Homo-oligomer: A and B are copies of this chain.
Amino acid sequence: MSQIVSLHLRPRYAETDQMGIVYYANYLVWFECGRSEYMRAVGMPYTELESRGYYFPVTAFQGRLTASAHYDEEIVVHTRVQELKSRQLCYAYEVTRQEQLLASGTTTHMCVNDQQRPVRFPQWLLDGLSV
């Protein structure tokens, strides 16, 4: 569970606001990009999980912003799995520019099937994430 996957991105003009910095909700979008990349890196991309009928809606999130990101900077989103239970998956994220920490946060997810009923995370997914 200690693997960290990095995603590089540049803030889009669309993501800035009139303070001249990245609007705060976009950190949650970047967190999503981070975990997408994480799941691809561990061989279980969301597209494949969804095609098997598993979805992972967010049940909680939190973030702490310590410095502002700006348009077109070179940003890295570092993602890891922080906690993994049969009914709860938690990712942790750090957002950096150069070596400076801009933001950190977590998202917590449940697993639902294609009828949107809560189910346990399938064992092969738990196995795949905990290696």
The smallest C-beta distance from A21 to any residue of chain B, in angstroms, reads 7
The smallest C-beta distance from A55 to any residue of chain B, in angstroms, reads 6
Q: Please tell me if the beta carbons of A71 and B46 are within 8 angstroms of each other in the complex.
A: yes
Query: In the complex this chain forms, how many copies of it are found?
Result: 4
Question: What is the size, in residues, of chain A's interface with B at 8 Å between Cβ atoms?
Answer: 38
Contact of A72 with B by CB under 8 A:
yes
**CA A16 to CA B17, docked complex, whole Å:** 5
Further pairs besides A25-B32, A60-B63: 14, Cβ < 8 Å: A10-B36, A12-B33, A13-B32, A14-B32, A16-B17, A18-B20, A19-B55, A19-B57, A24-B28, A25-B26, A45-B72, A47-B72, A57-B65, A60-B64
